[in-house]
């Protein structure tokens, strides 16, 4: 619903301001009741390379009187991105620039990501990588208990430095990283399903972090009690460590 989308965007802006950011909103031309919420950490000169972290905050909402909560898809990604944004602002120990983009209208056609790609805070050509968090709070593809700490990273094998630093950050965070080529998703026709595709399609390095699909995907049962707090904490440690390592290069 329009009021809910506006309330979430306003809440994100308030949380970012409390953390010390000066967030802005970006209109989404195709959807007049949702916006992107953008916050910049680090130097603001246009020459600095940029790391972009994205997470979509929209979901299906209420359909025919039934609520679809979207706890994993994608409150989990928003929670991790917001947590890392808060931590960076509090510690101020990362020298690089990180742009956090909380996108709207992903479920309607990746429109929030498209809007940012058309009007980025900094030129896409200066973007080191886009890291997209989408569904990061469950056991990996609902596998066995030994996969509790597993995290998929689509698009990571395409860049040796990204892969090296990502694997180092994962090891330090206790995350078992499964790197999957974006070309593999293209072959099976699944490359367009999340915001990272918008940037990859424009030639920008992009990685999709996810614990994969589960039986509650796009169901009323995608509720907070089914999301693992321990997994969210692991993913946040990993993302924080990876961003720190990338910024130091």
Domains of the chain: 2-248 (3.40.630.10)
| Residues contacting residue 154 through CB under 8 Å, at least 6 positions apart | 180, 181, 182, 185, 196, 207, 208, 210
Q: Mean pLDDT for each consecutive 10-residue tract of the chain (249 residues)?
A: 86 98 97 96 87 97 91 98 98 94 96 98 95 96 79 85 94 94 65 85 94 93 96 98 94
pLDDT value at residue 185: 63
**What pLDDT does 190 receive?**
58
CA 59 from chain center: how many Å?
14
pLDDT tens-digit profile of 21-60?
999 999 999 999 999 999 999 988 878 899 999 999 999 9
CA 16 to chain centre: 16
């Amino acid at each position: 619903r329009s009021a809910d989308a506006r309330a979430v965007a306003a809440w994100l802006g308030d949380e970012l301001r409390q953390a010390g950011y000066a967030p802005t909103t970006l209109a989404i031309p195709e959807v007049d009741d949702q916006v992107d919420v953008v916050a910049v950490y680090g130097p603001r000169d246009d020459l600095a390379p940029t790391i972009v972290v994205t997470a979509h905050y929209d979901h299906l909402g209420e359909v025919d009187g039934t609520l679809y909560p979207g706890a994993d898809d994608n409150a989990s990604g928003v929670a991790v991105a917001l947590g890392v944004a808060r931590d960076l602002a509090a510690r101020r120990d990362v020298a690089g620039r990180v742009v956090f983009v909380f996108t709207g209208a992903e479920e309607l056609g990746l429109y929030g990501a498209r809007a940012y790609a058309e009007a980025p805070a900094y030129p896409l050509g200066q973007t080191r990588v886009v890291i997209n968090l989408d569904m990061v709070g469950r056991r990996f593809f609902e596998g066995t208990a030994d996969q509790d700490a597993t995290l998929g990273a689509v698009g990571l094998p395409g860049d040796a430095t990204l892969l090296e630093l990502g694997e180092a950050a994962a090891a330090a965070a206790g995350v078992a990283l499964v790197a999957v080529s974006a070309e593999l998703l293209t072959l099976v026709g699944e490359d367009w399903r999340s915001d990272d595709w918008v940037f990859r399609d424009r030639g920008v390095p992009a990685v999709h972090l996810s614990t994969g699909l589960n039986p509650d995907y796009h169901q009323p049962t995608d509720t907070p009690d089914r999301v693992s707090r321990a997994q969210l904490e692991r993913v946040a440690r990993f993302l924080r460590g990876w961003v720190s390592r990338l910024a130091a290069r």
